[in-house]
Structure 1
Amino acid sequence: MADKQTRTYEELLAEGAAVPTEGWDFSWFEGRATEARPSWGYATALAGRLGEADAALDIQTGGGEVLDFALTHAARSPALTAATEGWPPNVTKATARLRPHRVTVVASAEDAPLPFADETFGLVVSRHPVRAHWDEIARVLRPGGTYFAQHVGPGSAYEVVEFFLGPQPGEQREARHPDRERRAAEAAGLETVDVRAERLRMEFHDIAAVVHFLRKVIWMVPGFTVEAYRPRLRALHERIEAEGAFVAHSTRHLFELRKHC
């Protein structure tokens, strides 16, 4: 394969379309795209929480990468740790990755009720859930238990979204606003301990990175395929070639919520 700097547009498209999308390992983007990380360091903070928990649940674990890191670095593992995931390739990947930690990985659709009894867990966690089902989170938490999670915020990477889809309605941009999610969580019986939010710079250095990103984060441009968006991909490729990296901004917020005793 030619050096990255001399690859043709078609070669870059083909490369971005061929990279496997299972799990939440973003190491392929190294040298092609960057995203600043939130200051709170979620995975490391999670390790500390797991070290103090006796029963923990990770919702929508992906390929288990974040939970694996946190358990590896925790002072001790909970006596019971479970995880849910809805996409079959990720269920397989997470099961294998988390087996050394004795984590029970349960195949469960994102919009299904959590397959656990009431008040099973003292700690429920999630990194970038598609949607938080607050009633279910509150149901499986013990009184005094904690929900500790990093969510995608409002208008995240919307520079990318709107390049392909055009201007989006304000209501859609605000759907993940932390204030809105906090109110829904409190209505379900959770009290707010801490909420933090940050806006973070992203850079895409070639069109292969954009293609892989949109294939991996499928809700950004629903139904995305290279063929369906070839004209816009060509336009963005030419823009990157002429102007340098395409800049976008992700938004993230950290939740620490507690179930009423």
Structure 2
Amino acid sequence: MADLPSPTSPTFEDLVAEGDAVPTEGWDFSWFEGRATEARPSWGYARGMAERMGRASAALDIQTGGGEVLDSAPRLPRLTVATEGWPPNVAKATARLHPRGAVVVACPEDAPLPFADGAFDLVTSRHPVQAHWTEIARVLRPGGTYFAQHVGPASVFELVEHFTGPLPDEVRAGREPQRERADAEAAGLEIVELRAERLRMEFYDVAAVVHFLKKVVWMVPGFTVDAYLPQLRSLHERIRSEGCFVAHSARHLFEARKPTDA
């Protein structure tokens, strides 16, 4: 019997083209299975969000992406609204959430929330680009809760700085939890809980890196394969040599409450 040819490893060009071709809408990260891993925070944001949704009467999910996290809640309040600023995600979230009775509103990330004062007793968000505390406080009812998982300072900067070079200290300090606490309190909210963790990430091929940077666009603004081909090639060689590229994400959990006498 003739020997079967041994499978060949994908080339650098094959991997880059594969990662570049994957659709980026929504917040479904299942494509990364077997290609990248990220440890999860100990607090279980989706579980905590679902518990609070089950008790709420009117809820708002800010920057919902494709609606995947909100849709994971077994029960949604009768009045459930989600905002999203990127048109492909608006369409995806609408298709996902409308059958459950939730309304999706197209709203730019930096625009005022298009809702009345005190409209919601629960506001949630997973990885907002920025928390607009005055707007969050405004749309919450007295006694209402903001429950969210934020991206912390210098998150995945081992990867980011491979492409950008060293970033200044003020950039590395952005999203610092205690600074966000002060901003939330200045907007009139009381902090119930604030927890932070740093979590290991591993990238097993350069296709995963390409897709990650195209999907999470604020990591390396303006990222394209052509613009960063030398950095991608050196990263590919490093992964082949070391088995993976290791970085660390930063996450913090926020629970804040609007005082009942507000």
TM-score range, shorter chain: over 0.9
User: Does the 8 Å contact 2:15/2:206 carry over to 1?
Assistant: yes
Cα distance in 2, alignment partners of residues 160 and 5 from structure 1: 27
Divergent runs of 4+, >4 A: none
Counterparts of residues 1-261 of structure 1 (less than 5 Å):
6-70=9-73, 73-74=74-75, 77-261=76-260
Q: How many aligned positions are there?
A: 255
After superposition, the Cα gap between the structure-2 partners of 1:160 and 1:4, relative to the gap in structure 1 and judged at 3 Å, is farther
TM (norm. structure 1) is 0.96
Offset, 1:243: 1.1
2:64 maps to a residue whose letter is T
Q: Percent identity?
A: 73
- What is the CA-CA distance between 1:4 and the residue it aligns to? 9.1
The offset of 1:100, in angstroms, is: 1.9
How much does 1:220 deviate?
0.5
State the match for 2:3 in structure 1: none
State TM-score, norm by structure 2. Answer: 0.96
Compute the displacement of 1:5 (Å): 6.5
Structure 1: 5+ residue stretches without partners: none
Alignment gaps of 5+ in structure 2: 1-5
Deviation, 1:170, is 1.1
The separation in 2 between residues aligned to 1:113 and 1:26, in whole angstroms, is 29
Matches of 1:125 and 1:220, distance apart in 2 = 23
1:166-211 deviation digits (Å, cap 9, x = unpaired): 1111111111011000100000010000000000000000000000
Cα distance change of structure 1 residues 42 and 50 upon mapping to structure 2, 3 Å threshold: same
Query: Which whole-Å deviations, capped at 9, do the CAs of 1:33-58 have from their partners, x for residues lacking one?
Result: 00000011111111100000000000
